Structure formats: C-alpha cells, structure tokens
Amino acid sequence: MKCPYCGYKEDKVVDSRATAEESAIRRRRECLKCGKRFTTYEYIEEVSLLVIKKDGRREPFDRKKVLSGITKACEKRPISMEKMEEIVIQVERAIQKKSDREVPSSKIGELVMEKLKALDDVAYVRFASVYRQFKDVGQFMVELKDILSKERLTKQKVKHGGATK
C-alpha cells in the first residue's frame, strides 16, 4: 500500500476490523518511513453495476464518485470521513440488493440524499442543490422551508413531551 502522505510503499497494519455493516474490512496502517497513519478499506468485489445516466449512457458504478459528491457536500461540517464512507457502503449495498445489474443515477442520488438528510441538514441541502440542479433561489427556498418546518415540528414534540398541539 502506498502512503498517501509521502508515497513510500511499505507500511504496517496497526488495527483491522469489520465495518459496522460487515461489508468491508477497515485497516489502520502506519507508514514505515514517515510514521503517519491512514485508513484503507477492503471490499468484496461484487457483480459490477452499471449506472444509467440521465442522457441514457451507461457507465460502471464508481464508489469514488459517490464519495466525492458526499465529501463536497460535507465540507466544513462536523462529519467524519468514516461516516461519509459508511454512507457510500450503505448506498452501494442498497442498490445491489434492490436492482439487477443496472441502476439509474437518480436512484443513487435519492439514496445519498436520504442518508445525508438523516445526518446533517446543511450537507443534505448542498448535495440536493447540485443533484436536483435548482434553477433559481425559489426552488432552493422551498427545500429549506421544508427542512425548517420539520425542525420546528421536532422541537415542538420535544417541548411537549412527544405530543404535538
């Protein structure tokens, strides 16, 4: 494994464990040259999935693309890389369970939005704004109002012991 910091090709495994959903092995590694630690994940290679893009093109599912989109949405948010990677694992597992060998890109986007919405409203809105390609501020405001109204409902339930007025 090549060190992402210095490029040295030798390291030692400090810790290995299964991810929460046991779909991958998480390994903490330490570079033998610079001493910095980094994490790698080992996955079972599943049947390759094809993503059907909006224009009808098909391309192989790329978990790096999904992680990249999630990372951008979570930028400067208190969300660990581990949580973001777990979302990718959950999304990948969901599409492998529900679909054949092809899945529309819209399904992947919806799954990511669902996971982000449960995790962080700001990251969700950022992802949704790119994914849904809001045409104007009005569309964006509709989404924000929906989030704010759900927040108010939650606060009311907490304030009134679970019962709403």
pLDDT of residue 40: 94
Give the residues of the chain that fall short of pLDDT 50: 164-165
pLDDT of residue 164: 47
Q: What is the SS3 string spanning 21-87?
A: CCCEEEEEEEECCCCCEEEEEEECCCCCCEEECCCCCEEECCHHHHHHHHHHHCCCCCCCHHHHHHH
pLDDT of residue 155: 66
Instruction: Give the global pTM.
Output: 0.62
Q: Which residue has the tokens 């949704």?
A: 128
Strands of the sheet with 58-60, listed across from one edge:
58-60, 50-52, 102-104
DSSP annotation of 114? H
pLDDT of residue 93: 87
Query: How do the domains of the chain map onto residue ranges?
Result: 8-44, 47-153
pLDDT of residue 140: 73
Question: Alpha carbon 146 to chain centroid distance?
Answer: 22
pLDDT of residue 143: 73
